């Protein structure tokens, strides 16, 4: 192979420039520490009276699914879901509603396929699984799944910013998380705030194999890290992550393995840098989404469909030992076989009220609010009944 | 429109121009080819003309995403200055590129199970080891005289593009390699074979 020495010298100079520039661009280490809320014995404003309040949500499309909720700085709750004629249809849009004082104040179509096309400069055929996150300044970040061609296996995750409470979107960025054409990356549950202001986004992959992913992403949408969550009880996806301390977090995952249909569990002790597979929970899982929240008193709460098959029961489970053991708690919904109350999502207000949104029969999003006193009362009733037996 | 989108859309235009140029190589110069416009008119159409509300380039971008910088440079050279391309990549180049593409891109998806902890693609978010490996591979290749300055330039430009965040991805692998690179390398090898065959035919015609 012959070439002139001068051209080789020029190329090597360019390479050195490239290596130095790339090295500088990627320098620095990630701060792997969770921003954890301080645990309080009992929230000051929380009522000791058991409260449970169903909230009627708007129904504007024949199909509605996969809600996500987050609180705005003014105390109102922002709920997002995807709705259209059917899941996967090209008229599916991200719908939003704002809830305050137990009532829906406003609802609107927040993001359409055409709007996301304009923001990301690529064809978008359908949308799914919106996840909302609101910062202290009221800026709303939306992570939303989009499909250009094919089904959910061909999906990818986009991050968008809204400065007007979810009415309009800007700064859209497609998150490149998968090596082969960025196929099959999705989100379902809410991100965890990190100490350095970045987000830890639980995501998942479902082409050929399924696994959970832990994605560190800046609020501008720059991906800093993406780690796989291990799996051996089956094929686990849709992780729901809560931070226990600055370095520890627990994840519960939907299990697609019908031979061992229980909720999967993973944990990290180094701020999400590595994830260890833990023994699965003793809670059945019919290949259905699970959500988890750390309450103000430090206990953990799961909402899940605790059946080997079917999604016709939606029930709460609580852990007071950072997820090591769980006890069955209140049942939110129960219907005949064939019914569906699925894809739950939690949010807790500053006064301790817990809001749970979920899909009802794939047609409507349901929302209810309750407090820990209501959960405790149910637990006490159950314990009394068990002791009486 | 940001840099990521501009790069992605222009890259789709270059892909279309490459396909048309290749078709011209096979079917010969006809029609607009005599004016030298055959490559850029369709490329411009792809970038501008909308179908169902968005440009063809946006459809293509949704279909296969953005090519890596190295693939983009190869295709661009093929379109604008094919004489400066390596006419037939060496077998060692093909194997090296294939390994670079196969290891991080295909293995994690097709062969590795979720319980296997090694994910080479994830190294691309903190690419110190990739940069060291590139420096070593280039140094060895120069000493063995198996790499041309052109390939070094491709790698260098990809690294500079990475430092400038030209692509949507924040992973260095996506700047260096992509599945299309395998096809591009194979295509260039095929081009070389075709050129050699054409040369033989011309030679035999001259002899007769």
CA A389 from centroid of its chain's CA atoms: 39
The confidence score (pLDDT) of residue A250 equals 96
State phi, psi for A306 to the nearest 5 degrees. -85, 55
Contact at CB, A207 and B131, closer than 8 angstroms: no
What is the mean pLDDT of the segment spanning B160-164? 96
As a 3-state breakdown, chain B gives helix, strand, coil percent values, each rounded to 5, of 75, 0, 25
For an interface test with A, the pick among B143, B149, B154 (most A C-beta atoms closer than 10 Å) comes out as B149
Q: Chain A closest CA to B32's CA: distance in Å?
A: 30
Task: List, for residues B176-190, the tens digit of each pLDDT value.
Answer: 988 888 888 777 777
| Interchain contact, B168 vs A173, CB within 8 Å | yes
Considering only the beta carbons, identify the residue of A180, A208, A277 that sits closest to B179: A180
Tell me the range of A3-12, B67-76, B83-92 where mean pLDDT is highest: B67-76
Q: Give B90's pLDDT tier (boundaries 50, 70, 90).
A: low
* Domain that residue A281 falls in: 60-388
Nearest to A57 by CA among A115, A93, A98, A26: A98
Residue B30 has pLDDT above 90, yes or no: no
Say if residue B110 is in the same domain as residue B60. no
Chain A residues near residue B138 by CB distance under 8 angstroms: 15
State yes or no: pLDDT of B106 exceeds 60: yes
Best A10, A11, A23 residue to mutate vs chain B (most B CBs within 10 Å): A11
Tell me, yes or no, whether A175 lies in a domain. yes
Domain total in chain B: 2
Contact list, B139 vs chain A (CB under 8 Å): none
- Residue A26 included in any domain: no
For residues B103 and B146, state if they share a domain: yes
- Please give the average per-residue pLDDT across B56-79, as a whole number: 91
For residues A229-258, b (16+ Cβ closer than 10 Å) or e, as one string? bbbebbbbbbbbbbbbeebbbbbbbbbbbe
Q: Do B42 and B106 fall into the same domain? A: no
Shortest distance, CA A174 to any CA of chain B (angstroms): 7
| C-alpha–C-alpha distance, residues A186 and A154, integer Å | 10
Check whether residue B36 and residue B112 sit in a common domain.
no
Question: For residue B5, which residues of chain A lie inside 8 Å, CB to CB?
Answer: 120-121
Q: Are residues B56 and B95 in the same domain?
A: no
Chain A residues touching residue B156 (CB < 8 angstroms): 11, 14-15, 17-19
Contact predicate A132/A148, CB 8 Å: no
Residues of chain B contacting residue A180, judged by C-beta atoms under 8 Å apart: 105-106, 109, 179
In a domain, A51, yes or no: no
* B92 min Cα distance to partner chain A (Å): 13
Nearest to A226 among B59, B125, B156 (CB): B125
Nearest-neighbour CA in chain A from B26: distance (Å): 29
- Give the pLDDT score at B152: 92
Q: Domain of residue B52: give its range.
A: 1-66
Residue A91 covered by a domain: yes
CB contact under 8 A, A179 and B160: no
The answer to whether A144 and A157 have CB atoms below 8 angstroms apart is yes
pLDDT beyond 70 at B201: no
Q: How far is A262 from chain B (nearest CA, A)?
A: 18
- CB of A24 less than 8 A from some CB of B: yes
Cβ of A179 within 8 Å of Cβ of B152? The answer is: no
Q: Is residue A263 a part of any domain in this protein?
A: yes
Provide the domain count of chain A. 1
For chain B, say whether A47 makes contact (Cβ under 8 Å): no
Higher pLDDT, B151 or B39: B151
**Set of chain A residues whose Cβ sits within 8 Å of the Cβ of B109:** 178-180, 207-209
- Max distance between CA atoms of chain B, in angstroms, equals 66
Which positions in chain B touch A170 (Cβ < 8 Å)?
Answer: none
pLDDT at B115: 53
At residue A187, the pLDDT reads 97
Residue B104, pLDDT score: 64
B76 belongs to a structural domain: no
Q: Give residue B123's pLDDT.
A: 87
A279's CB contacts (< 8 A; 6+ apart) are: A265
SS (H, E, C) chain A: CCCCHHHHHHHHHHHHHHHHHHHHHCCCCCCCCECCCCCCCCCCCCCCCCCEEEECCCCCCCEEEEEEEEECCCCCEEEEEEEECCCCCCCCEEEEEEEECCEEEEEEEEECHHHHHHHHCCCCCEEEEEEEEECCCCCEEEEEEEECCCCHHHEEEEEEEECCCCCCCEEEEEECCCCCCCCCEEECCCCEEECCCCEEEEEEECCCCCEEEEEEECCCCCEEEEEEECCCCCCEEEEEEEECCCCCEEEEEEECCCCCCECEEEEECCCCCCCEEECCCCCECCCCCCEEEECCCCCEEEEECCCCCCECEEEEEEECCCCCCCEEEEEEEECCCCCEEEEEEEEECCCCCEEEEEEECCCEEEEEEECHHHHHHHHHHHHHHHHHC
Quick check: is B21 in a domain? yes
Asked if the C-beta of A12 comes within 8 angstroms of chain B's C-beta atoms, the answer is: yes
CB contact under 8 A, A148 and B122: no
Report if residue A50 sits inside a domain.
no
Tell whether B23 is covered by a domain. yes
Question: Scanning every residue of chain A, which has its alpha carbon at the shortest distance from the alpha carbon of B177?
Answer: A179
* B77 domain-assigned: no
Going by C-alpha positions, the residue among A351, A249, A237 that lies closest to residue A290 is: A237
Residue numbers of A between 186 and 245 with CB closer than 8 Å to B: 207-211, 222-232, 235-236
Domain membership flag for residue A258? yes
The CATH number for A233's domain is: 2.120.10.10
Q: Which chain A residues have a beta carbon less than 8 Å from that of B157?
A: 14, 18
Chain A residues with CB-CB distance to B170 below 8 A: 176, 222-224
Residues in A touching B180 (Cβ below 8 Å): none
- Chain B residue closest in CA terms to A175: B169
Of B38, B66, B94, the position where a domain reaches its end is B66
Mark whether B8 and B58 lie in a shared domain.
yes
Is B61 a domain residue?
yes
Contact A26 B172 (CB under 8 A): yes
| A22: in domain | no
Where is pLDDT greater, at B79 or B31? B79
Q: Is residue B90 domain-shared with residue B154, that is, in the same domain?
A: yes
Name the residue in chain A with its Cα closest to that of B59: A123
Mean pLDDT calculated for residue range B10-26: 83
Two tokens, residue B127: 């690419």
Contacts of B1 in chain A (CB under 8 A): 121
Give residues with Cβ within 8 angstroms of A227, minimum separation 6. Answer: A213, A214, A272, A273, A274, A275, B119, B122
The answer on B175 and B99 residing in a single domain is: yes
**Residue A211 token pair:** 């696994």
Residue of B12, B66, B88, B114 to mutate, interface with A, max A Cβ within 10 Å: B114
Of residues B149 and A191, more confidently modeled: A191
Under 8 Å between Cβ of A376 and A328: no
Phi-psi region of B190 (alpha: psi -120 to 50; beta: other; left: phi over 0): alpha
Listed as ranges, residues in chain A with pLDDT below 50 are none
């Amino acid at each position: 192979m012959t070439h002139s020495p001068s051209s080789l010298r020029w190329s090597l100079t360019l390479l050195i420039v490239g290596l130095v520039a790339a090295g500088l661009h990627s320098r620095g280490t990630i701060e792997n520490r969770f921003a954890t809320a301080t645990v309080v014995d009992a929230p000051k404003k929380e009522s000791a009276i058991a409260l449970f309040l169903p909230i009627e949500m708007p129904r504007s499309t024949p199909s509605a699914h996969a809600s996500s909720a987050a609180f705005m700085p003014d105390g109102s709750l922002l709920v997002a879901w995807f709705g259209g004629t059917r899941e996967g249809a090209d008229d599916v849009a991200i719908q939003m509603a704002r809830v305050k004082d137990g009532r829906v104040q406003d609802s609107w179509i927040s993001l359409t396929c055409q709007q996301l096309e304009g923001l990301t400069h690529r064809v978008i055929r359908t949308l799914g699984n919106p996840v909302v996150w609101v910062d202290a300044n009221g800026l709303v970040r939306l992570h939303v799944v989009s499909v250009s061609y094919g089904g959910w296996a061909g999906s990818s995750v986009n991050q968008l910013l809204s400065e007007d409470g979810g009415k309009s979107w800007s700064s859209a960025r497609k998150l490149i998380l998968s090596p082969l054409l960025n196929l099959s990356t999705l989100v379902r549950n809410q991100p965890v705030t990190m100490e350095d202001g970045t987000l830890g986004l639980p995501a998942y992959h479902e082409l050929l194999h399924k696994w959970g992913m832990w994605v560190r992403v800046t609020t501008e949408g720059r991906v800093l890290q993406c780690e796989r969550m291990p799996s051996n009880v089956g094929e686990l996806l849709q992780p729901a992550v809560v931070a226990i301390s600055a370095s520890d977090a627990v994840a519960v995952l939907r299990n697609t393995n019908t031979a061992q249909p229980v909720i999967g569990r993973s944990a990290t002790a180094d701020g999400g840098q590595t994830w260890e597979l833990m023994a699965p929970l003793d809670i059945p899982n019919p290949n259905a989404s699970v959500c988890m929240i750390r309450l103000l008193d430090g206990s953990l709460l799961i909402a899940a469909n605790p059946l080997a098959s079917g999604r016709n029961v939606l029930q709460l489970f609580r852990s007071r030992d950072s997820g090591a053991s769980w006890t069955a708690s209140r049942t939110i919904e129960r219907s005949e076989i064939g019914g569906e109350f699925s894809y739950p999502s939690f949010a807790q207000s500053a006064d301790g009220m817990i809001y749970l949104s979920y899909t009802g029969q794939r047609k409507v999003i349901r929302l209810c609010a309750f407090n820990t006193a209501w959960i405790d009362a149910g637990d006490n009733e159950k314990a009394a009944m068990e002791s009486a037996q | 429109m940001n840099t990521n989108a501009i790069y992605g859309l222009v890259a789709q235009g270059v892909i279309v121009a490459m396909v048309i140029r290749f078709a011209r190589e096979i079917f010969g110069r006809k029609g607009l080819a005599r004016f030298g416009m055959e490559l850029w008119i369709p490329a411009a159409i792809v970038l501008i003309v909308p179908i169902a509300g968005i440009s063809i380039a946006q459809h293509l971008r949704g279909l296969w995403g953005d090519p890596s910088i190295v693939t983009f440079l190869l295709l661009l050279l093929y379109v604008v200055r094919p004489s400066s391309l390596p006419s037939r990549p060496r077998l060692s180049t093909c194997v090296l590129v294939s390994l670079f593409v196969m290891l991080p891109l295909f293995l994690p998806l097709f062969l590795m199970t979720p319980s296997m902890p090694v994910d080479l693609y994830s190294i691309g978010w903190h690419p110190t080891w990739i940069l060291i490996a590139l420096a070593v591979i280039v140094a060895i290749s120069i000493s063995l005289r198996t790499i041309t300055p052109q390939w070094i330039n491709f790698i260098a430009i990809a690294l500079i593009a990475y430092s400038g965040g030209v692509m949507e991805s924040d992973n260095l692998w996506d700047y260096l390699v992509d599945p299309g690179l395998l096809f591009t390398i194979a295509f260039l090898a095929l081009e070389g074979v075709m050129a050699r065959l054409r040369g033989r035919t011309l030679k035999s015609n001259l002899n007769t």
